[in-house]
Amino acid sequence: MKQKIIYNFTNIAPHYRSSLWSKLLNNLFFDFHFVFGENKQLNIKEINFKALEFREQNHKLHALKNFWLKDKILIFQTGVIKKCLFKNIDIAIFLGEFQIISTWIAILICKIKGIKVVLWSHGLYGNEPYWKRTLRISFYKTADELLLYERRAKKLLTEQGFKEEKLKVIFNSLDYDTHLKLRNSNDVKQSFTPDFFKDNHLPYLIFVGRLTRVKKLDLLINAVSALNETGDKINLLLVGDGTEKEYLKSLAISLDIQDHIHFYGSCYDEKELAKFIYHATLCVSPGNVGLTAIHSLSFGTPVCTHGNLSNQMPEVESIVELETGVFFEENSLENLKEKVKDWIRNSKSRESIRKECFKIIDTFYNPYYQTDIIKKL
């Protein structure tokens, strides 16, 4: 069978997608190309294309220039239209963002040339204002098929009249192969007692990610304070940096729980992160939870976040109530405290919880599953 030529037109090359990009570029089932730009202002680590798995695939990596509104909203990409006009392409996969003017023009060209159009998108969140929902739906209707990050988005789109067979849920992934090796290594699995706290033998909660306002980490610190006051002694490890760091430190001091909270700072050492996450009791993300959930579950630690799915990221679907985590009432300190307390007192064995976490990652949230979905195009 002749290889299908697939061009994936996307915004940037984020480092967390290294594993997926490598597998797609090196897969013999199709001839896969990536077309992308950059934006240093986003402060997102990019893929290292000098790595061994990319060295022989440079001819399939195509750079373009991005034009951003206020350094955040992508509105045009040079080179996309030209490639759709003159390259031999069977399937064109575009970023599912309706504000990119060049994508609209490129889709029109693909339609005229008979190139299959696929949009890789979040789909609908369910909380969009009418005008945005209408625009998104109109944009999605230009595609022959949609790749979606979650089942909920698929359900919302079928309710809007989209045919189910045209909607494929591709989920998301991190560096699955590396995480798999680490979680099975003795270095990670062996007993670990953190030396960050005054009482290192207490169980600890963890958060890994940017310390920003949208993550609502002040709610978590207040919950830790409330738990310690009522005798449910627990520590908190915050791994990451961000604009809220100094405020959160001062909050911990004002609540007199600085001995129970450690600000580790940024960490890009996966072996260290694996150890921290693997031995935590629970990962808590009081605001929206994205890839933090996948990272945590990859090392067998369940996740707690709020249950208002309209204000969540698609990775929230990896959390199965009382199996791979727990949901609390959005913005409720009291409910967050109770849910964490209940989880700490959970009678299920840590090993059985770990297995449930691993199962959801091994089944759906990995680049092998994603590659199989793209093959179905």
**Residue 376, Cα to own-chain centre: how many angstroms?**
23
pLDDT at residue 2 in the model: 83
Domains of the chain, by residue range, sit at 4-173+365-375, 177-363
pLDDT at residue 346 in the model: 82
Between CA 304 and CA 200 the distance in angstroms is: 22
Domains 4-173+365-375 and 177-363 share a fold: yes
Between CA 163 and CA 157 the distance in angstroms is: 8
pLDDT at residue 191 in the model: 84
Provide the 10 A C-beta neighbour count for residue 3.
12
Assigned CATH topology for domain 4-173+365-375: Rossmann fold (3.40.50)
Provide the 10 A C-beta neighbour count for residue 156.
20
Across the chain, mean pLDDT equals 95
Q: Residue range 354-370: average pLDDT?
A: 97
- Return the half-sphere exposure (C-beta side, CA atoms, 13 A cut-off) of residue 70: 2
> What share of the chain in percent tops pLDDT 90?
91
pLDDT at residue 38 in the model: 86
Between CA 370 and CA 97 the distance in angstroms is: 20
pLDDT at residue 68 in the model: 94
pLDDT at residue 37 in the model: 94
Q: Match 């190309």 to its residue by tokens.
A: 33
Between CA 306 and CA 66 the distance in angstroms is: 34
Q: Match 């999605």 to its residue by tokens.
A: 140
Residue 90 confidence (pLDDT) above 90:
yes
* Backbone φ, ψ for residue 214 (5° rounding): -65, -20
Query: CA dist 227 to 151, 231, 294, 334, Å?
Result: 35, 6, 26, 10
Provide the 10 A C-beta neighbour count for residue 140.
21
Token pair in block for residue 277: 């996450």
Assigned CATH topology for domain 177-363: Rossmann fold (3.40.50)
- Please report which confidence band the pLDDT of residue 165 belongs to, taking 50, 70 and 90 as the band edges: very high
pLDDT at residue 348 in the model: 84
Between CA 260 and CA 140 the distance in angstroms is: 48
Q: Residue range 310-325: average pLDDT?
A: 95
pLDDT digits (tens, 9 = 90+) for 63-87: 999 999 988 899 999 999 999 999 9
Give me the sign of the Cα torsion angle 336, 329, 171, 139: negative
3-state secondary structure 256-277: CCHHHEEEEECCCCHHHHHHHH
pLDDT at residue 39 in the model: 76
Distant-in-sequence, close-in-space partners of 76: CB < 8 Å, separation ≥ 6:
66, 67, 100, 101, 102
pLDDT digits (tens, 9 = 90+) for 266-290: 998 999 999 999 999 999 999 999 9
Give me the sign of the Cα torsion angle 105, 172, 209, 177: negative
pLDDT digits (tens, 9 = 90+) for 184-243: 999 999 888 888 999 999 999 999 999 999 999 999 999 999 999 999 999 999 999 999
pLDDT digits (tens, 9 = 90+) for 100-151: 999 999 999 999 999 999 999 999 998 899 999 999 999 999 999 999 999 9
In one-letter notation, the amino acid at residue 297 is L
Residue 351 confidence (pLDDT) above 90:
yes
Region of 252 please: left (phi>0), alpha (psi -120 to 50) or beta. Answer: alpha
pLDDT digits (tens, 9 = 90+) for 188-198: 998 888 889 99
Q: Residue range 331-353: average pLDDT?
A: 92
Distant-in-sequence, close-in-space partners of 112: CB < 8 Å, separation ≥ 6:
none
Are residues 343 and 282 in contact, defined by beta-carbon separation less than 8 angstroms? yes
Nearest to 81 by CA among 52, 120, 115: 115
